[in-house]
Amino acid sequence: EVQLVQSGAEVKKPGESLKISCKGSGYSFTSYWIGWVRQMPGKGLEWMGIIYPGDSDTRYSPSFQGQVTISADKSISTAYLQWSSLKASDTAMYYCARHEVGEGSDYWGQGTLVTVSS
């Protein structure tokens, strides 16, 4: 069974750093892209970027380039999304998803809620 399991909810202060994770199982982790999607409270979905764990090819949406870092450790089938200095506007639910370019995202993690507040 394909599963993507994300790390738990986080509460952080502005300026702090954060790294959240997404662990894949039940499939060849290095053969599919992993995408990250942001959903701010009461708002729509936004693609942040994608990574191919097989060779770490990473692509960012222009809105998120330079704002976050996407990485993966294929030895433990885990992808990461990290911030070096959080802002209140980073408060959102973040989803990871198994993604095939052009074919959509067929499996999703349960989401990680990030709350940034002083």
Partner 1 sequence: QSALTQPASVSGSPGQSITISCTGTSSDVGGYNYVSWYQQHPGKAPKLMIYEVSNRPSGVPDRFSGSKSGNTASLTISGLQAEDEADYYCSSYTSSSTVEVFGGGTKLTVL
Residues that bind partner 1 (CB under 8 A): 35, 37, 44-50, 59-63, 95, 97, 101-106, 108-111
Give min distance, CB of 62 to partner 1, in A.
5
Write the DSSP assignment of 35-104 as a string of letters. Answer: EEEEE-TT--EEEEEEEETTTTEEEE-TTTTTT-EEEEEGGGTEEEEEESS--GGG-EEEEEEEEETTTE
CB of 115 to partner 1, least distance (A): 16
Smaller CB separation from partner 1, 76 or 101? 101
Minimum Å distance from CB 61 to partner 1?
Answer: 5
